[in-house]
Amino acid sequence: MTVVRALIALTISSILAAPALAQDRVVPGSQAQLRMSYAPIVQRVQPAVVNVYAAKAVPRNPLLDDPMFRRFFGVPGNQPEQMQRSLGSGVMVDASGLVVTNNHVIEGADQVKVSLSDKREFEAEIVLKDSRTDLAVLRLKDVKEKFPILDFANSDDAMVGDVVIAIGNPFGVGQTVTHGIISALARTQVGITDYQFFIQTDAAINPGNSGGALVDMTGKLVGVNTAIFSRSGGSQGIGFAIPANMVRVVVASAKSGGTAVKRPWLGARLQAVTPEIAETLGLKRPTGALVANVTNGSPSAKAGLKLSDLIVSIDGQTVDDPNAFDYRFATRPLGGTAQVDVLRGGKPVKLSIALETAPDTGRDEITIKSRSPFQGAKVANISPALADELKLDSSVEGIVVTDLPENAIAANVGFKKGDIIVAVNGRKLTHTRDLEKLASEGSRLWRITVIRGGQQLNVVLGG
């Protein structure tokens, strides 16, 4: 019998609670202490956790508009519009009615409703979506009252073994409280966001918990539940939450009126240290983030970061791998500097990197409509901001595929999101207009040069 491991994004509501309010971590010293109840924390936290309902219209098959097709297959006319619905959770983070949830809960939604713990429902608008963290921020419509909220914990203070509570709406059965401990920190290879730095917990989390709260013993938000690792589709004691410090950054962007999250731009590409590289560098173990590329004119270049530097810490926090650095750098506030320690030729060097956003020169994003191998693909000029967003080498010239519907001709011939189209029929591409013009001219044979994952591919397709 084949056992399939599945990483499941959770889509329903979740909330957390916990026992003692003491700041110090203690081991229960008596049976009486073991009988302590989570009820005080649950009662305090529960009103700030909500259910999120999203719905989107499913496009009708155009054949259904053909009377002959309907008569032949016996399909009745005036079919109602089909709606696809999803159910998730959210956390109230501002008393004015601001809710944070998972992006995958509301992705593509035409309608969003929020249900409070007291059963009241409100229409909500999507204020901000951030696919890089799988977070989204909603605002309740037409409200004047103040709502209970959850304060953010400093998730960097979380420790393995800390007790946490999750409250959610697993499988739609209603708000449910579970508890457990933090099983691990800085988990990577979860594969659902750009920032791989998750809190792992054994608190029971199931489909329907997406966007729900993970709270510590003080009743503060330590993370937003996002995914589980399961062979069965249900909880098997391995759940993942986005750390509160990352959630705080996304919420702050929404509060400031932004529709997109602004983050510091490093302008360098990092790679993991393998055992072989560690031995070459004279390290006792694989650790740190190795600089593989530095973009000219970027903050890292101006600070003096060089190729083959080994980043070992940022603002005094140890960097074990590139994921750790990416997370810590992305959670730094804009406008200041990050103090980065590197090893250069085995000697320590201190650098001060400015925390500023990447320049977003004109993307001129278009969809190729002419019949060609590129038809249906959405493409854009490469800017430092877009390169940072898609984790591309900004020094490469070409046009990047930013979106690709499944039914597009470009998808059928093999193009993928993130592909950089460098040249077509021997002509280099520097602007989206170049590709649009070539596509409209047509060709009996297409010779295409593409960079995918840092590798150059040469493809020949018929017209």
Name the binding residues for substrate: 104, 134, 208-210
Contact 226, 89 (CB under 8 A): no
CA pair distance 258, 387, nearest whole angstrom? 20
Rounded Cα gap, residues 102 and 105, in angstroms: 5
Q: What share of the chain is helix, strand, coil (3-state, %, to 5)?
A: 20, 35, 45
104 annotated active-site: yes
Any catalytic annotation for residue 134? yes
14, 117, 155, 210: the active-site residue:
210
Strand, helix or coil for residue 40: helix
Q: Which residues pair with 351 in a beta bridge?
A: 340
User: Could you tell me which residues are beta bridge partners of residue 138?
Assistant: 99, 126
Three-class DSSP category at 271: strand
Q: CA neighbours within 13 Å on the CB side: how many for 371?
A: 4
> Are 262 and 360 a contacting pair, CB within 8 Å?
no
Distance CA 54, CA 226 (A): 17
Q: How far apart are CA 11 and CA 105, in angstroms?
A: 6
Residue 198 corresponds to which tokens in the numbers above? 């998750």
Please identify which of the residues 104, 183, 313, 434 carries the catalytic annotation: 104
Give me the active site residues, please: 104, 134, 210
